[in-house]
Homo-oligomer: A and B are copies of this chain.
Amino acid sequence: MAQLRVHNFSISLDGFATGEGRAKGEFFGHAGERLHEWMVATDTWQSGGSRGVDNAFAAQYWHGFGAEIMGAGKFGYPGWHDDPDWKGPWGDNPPFHTPVFVMTRRPRPSIEMEGGTTFHFVDAPPEKVLEMARDAADGKDVRLGGGATVIQQFLTAGLVDYMHIVVVPIVLGRGVNLWTGLEGVEKDFHVEAISSPSGVTHVTFTRTTN
């Protein structure tokens, strides 16, 4: 069966996936780009970049997916709902090239972008959104793109098959914490950790129960 997978989800040592003070053009708030420097330094992101363990993980982000699910927070800045022309922060040709299901309490009509990405806006519980995404993915896997609160919802519902978390050695202190409400989540997964010379540690959760 097609899987629901999280990839390249970067957090600080204290668990924050984004900082405070998010705004248009400052999508991670006071965290800035620090959580993703490891990723943009890889060959997958920029030709000529690193080709070690960081790149091996980063590359998996792009393979085998037929759809993405993301939260309203990832689709834009706080307030995008009030901007009828907002089409996400990725430009005319977003990097997804599949249907993308944006979970929001204020849906709008679907937006077809260049390159095969279509944004669908859905107000539904995780199980239902996953069903829609699976139908759209046509047998391929579904990427769970975040943010943290969306990942929490899908973990709590027992729907996540694989999760790749990247722990960046900084202490953000505030923001949105991935681990909130997830006590004992490791029990349903085989967990591995591998540190990289870049300083980050890749932690993988592979589901062992159903």
Contacts and interface: CB of A to CB of B under 8 A. Distances in A.
Contact of A171 (B14, B170, B185): B185
Chain A interface helix/strand/loop/mixed: loop
A174 interface: yes
Interface residues of A, number: 27
A131 interface: no
Contact of A179 (B173, B182, B183, B192): B173
A194 to B, nearest CB: 5
A193 B199 CA distance: 6
Interface in A167-210: 167, 169-174, 177, 179, 181-186, 191-195, 199-201, 203
Contact of A193 (B169, B172, B183, B185): B169
B192 A199 contact: yes
Given A167-B167, A195-B195, A203 B173 contact: no
A13 B169 CA distance: 13
A126 interface: no
Nearest to A189: B169
Interface string A127-161: 00000000000000000000000000000000000
A15 interface: yes
Contact of A15 (B15, B181, B194): B15
A169 to B, nearest CB: 4
Contacts of A203: 13, 169, 201
Given A167-B193, A173-B184, A201-B201, 5 more contacts: A15-B179, A170-B184, A170-B186, A173-B183, A193-B200
Give the 6 A-B residue pairs with the shortest CB-CB distance, closest first: A173-B183, A14-B179, A193-B195, A169-B191, A195-B195, A193-B201
